[in-house]
Every structure is written in C-alpha cells, then in structure tokens.
Amino acid sequence: MILRPRLHDLYIGRVVLATVLLTWAVLVGLDVMLALSGQLGDLGKGSYDFPTALAFVAYSVPRRAYSIFPYAAVIGSLMGLGQLAATSELTALRALGLSRRRLSLSVAAALTLLTALMVLTGETLAPWGQRQADQLKLAAKSNNIAMARYSGLWAREGDTFLNAIDGQERVVDGQRVLELRDVRLYQVGEDGRLQSLTRAALAVHDQEGWRLQQARRVELGADSAREQKVESQRWDSQLDANALAAGVTRPRNLSAADLQASIEYRRRNGLDARDYEDTYWSRWFYPLNVLALCLAAVPFAFGSLRSGGMGKRLFLGIVFALGFMLLQMQFGRLAGAFRFDYRIAYALPPVLMLLTSWLLFRRKSG
C-alpha cells in the first residue's frame, strides 16, 4: 500500500517542524554565544579584533547547525508531540483510527525534509564556511599563514615560502609533535627569481625545532642547477608550529568527496587514515541516525496519552535518545581503537534504536 500525505500528516508535520526549528534556533544561538565568548581570549593577537571574531563565528554557523541538528530534531519532535498530547489532539487522531506507527511516519516524513537539507549543507555550505572562518582567523592572527582550497597550507618566513599538502598533530612521549607531509620550500631572491627549491616527504616540529626528512634541494643559478639529497636534516626556522597546526584542515571540516580522496591518499602512502574514515562514514549514516533517534524516542510521547507525568516522560525520551547518540559516537571511537569496520560501528546503534522503538510500540498497545 502506498502511503499518501493526508491532512493529519500535514498538520502533525507543521507542528513538529515548528517546534524543531524553534529548538534548533535556541541551541544554535547558545552554541554561537559560547563560541563567540571563546574567541575573546584571542582578541589583540595580530589584527584579530572583535569584528573579525564575529565574522569567524558567522562563517562557522552552518557547520554548527549541522552538528546540532540531531539533538534539535529529537527534542523538538518530542516537544511537538507533547504539545499535541497536552491538547488531546493525539487522542482525537487515535480515535479516528490512526495507529501510533502511522503517526510516527508523519513525524519521520517531516524530519526527512530537514535532514535532507542538512545533508546537503554538510557537503557544501558547512565545509566552505568553516574554511573561510579558519582562513580569516589565521590571516588576522598571523600574517604569514594562508590556506588554499586545493594546494594545502601556505606559510611565509622572510624570503622562504612553505607549502604542505597535508599534516597532523600527535603526542609522542608526552610532547606535541607537528608533522607536515609533502612539503615544498621556495626561496626567492630580492629580484623575484627563484633561488632554490626544497622538497621533503616530511617536516617535523618537536621540542628541538624543525627537521626535514627525505629532502631534495635544488639550487638554481643563472645558467645552472645543483641537486642535493639528504635523508634527514635540521631546518632553522622560526615558523610558529601552533599557527601551522591550526591551518591544517581537520577531517570534520571536509566534504565526503574530500574525505574519500584523503583516505585514498593515506592508504597509497601507508599513512593512518582512521580519523578520516571515522568522519567519512559518520556522514553516510547521519540521516539514518537522525531518523532512528527520533523514532526511538517517539513512544515516550505516546505513553503520556492516558497517564500523567507527561513532562517526566518527555524528559526520559530526550535522555534516552541523547544517550543513544553518545553511544553511537563511542562506537566510532571503539572502531578506531580496535580496528574494525566503521560501517559496522555506525550501523549497530541505529539498528538497536529501531529495534528498541519497535519493542516499545508493541509494549504500549492501543
């Protein structure tokens, strides 16, 4: 049988969308205020001032909205159904012969529209906005740092320009170490002519300073070129490692296509790609997680139709759904720690939530 939207579907969808959007606006607003307050400590560094901080936070709003939407969907849908239950409208709809499952499908259909919009935002506007925000902040705080969309990280120190395709931070023996991969150093003379080009597989910064590994340096004369290869050498540079680390694009700020390209690059070069795989598969399971969360929490709203304590039931439903959201996040971390398939890790929580929802619907008959 093909389910067609009817008048009650539109009515329930309108109520649920209104409460979800209201909840979403409140949560995003709180997150934006916290983010703005977190930027106050950086004011005065370089040319980073309050208007720049405002622009930085504004550019990051799409990413914040994408991240917060699952929580807003759960809380808002339960608030919308609670509103209908408080006015006995759910009871009237049940008296018309509509089952709980049918009403839940109305909620799911309404949330599908917003979920699809968020998936599109997560692949387009959110990564673009976050890149603009990071570039704006880095340019204001450090005048020699810049980021390019396809060419990685750029930095300048005097007559030397650095370009790194990729990089990461890690902790070794309690010390933070920055690793930049596929590094190119361009030394330019006062006349604008390229004097030397150095290419290194890795540039490492630790407590002892910078070190180039598997480096090849080409010195260019007026009519000659001389090449030198070294396995490892110190690099006397005062480039700020913290600023460079901030310029390295984080996996959560990439689109799915960029994540897939990064994963393939790391696999080809024998590098660890687990962080990128984690984020990549979380994007694919994002819409399923949102709908499974809401469907798993919906029975708590219906449980208040014939008994008191509606506020208590709604609170338990929200805690139940958000608990499953945290469980889903932990499954991703466990997959990285124990090296099992991320697809299994991200599929298990939605399956458990849908199974729990089905059991709750069976238990709450009527």
Give the CA dihedral 242, 247, 252, 253, nearest 10 degrees.
150
Q: Are residues 50 and 125 in the same domain?
A: yes
Q: Are residues 78 and 166 in the same domain?
A: no
Quote the CA–CA distance of 287 and 124 in Å, as a whole number: 16
Q: Are residues 79 and 183 in the same domain?
A: no
Highest mean pLDDT among 72-81, 251-260, 315-324 belongs to 72-81
Domain boundary, last residue among 181, 205, 239: 239
| Percentage of the residues of the chain whose pLDDT score is greater than 70 | 83
Q: For residue 1, is it within any domain?
A: no
Q: For residue 275, is it within any domain?
A: no
Q: For residue 63, is it within any domain?
A: yes
Q: Are residues 197 and 295 in the same domain?
A: no
Across the range 169-195, mean pLDDT stands at 80
Sign of the CA dihedral 354, 318, 84, 28? negative
> Can you give the three-state secondary structure of 184-198, one letter per residue?
EEEEECCCCCEEEEE
Q: Are residues 24 and 117 in the same domain?
A: yes
Which residues span the domain enclosing 199?
Answer: 149-239
| Percentage of the residues of the chain whose pLDDT score is greater than 90 | 10
pLDDT tens digit sequence for 314-328: 677 677 767 777 777
Q: Are residues 73 and 175 in the same domain?
A: no
Structural domains of the chain, count: 2
Across the range 30-39, mean pLDDT stands at 92
Q: Are residues 92 and 165 in the same domain?
A: no
Domain boundary, last residue among 239, 269, 303: 239
Q: Are residues 119 and 153 in the same domain?
A: no
Domain boundary, last residue among 209, 239, 269: 239
User: Quick check: 111 pLDDT over 90?
Assistant: no
User: Quick check: 234 pLDDT over 80?
Assistant: yes
Angle at 163 between CA 156 and CA 258, to 5 degrees: 135
Mean per-residue pLDDT of the chain: 79
Q: For residue 110, is it within any domain?
A: yes
Lookup: tokens for 102: 């049918």
Q: Are residues 232 and 296 in the same domain?
A: no
Q: Are residues 13 and 127 in the same domain?
A: yes
Question: What's the pLDDT at 58?
Answer: 93
Q: Are residues 12 and 116 in the same domain?
A: yes
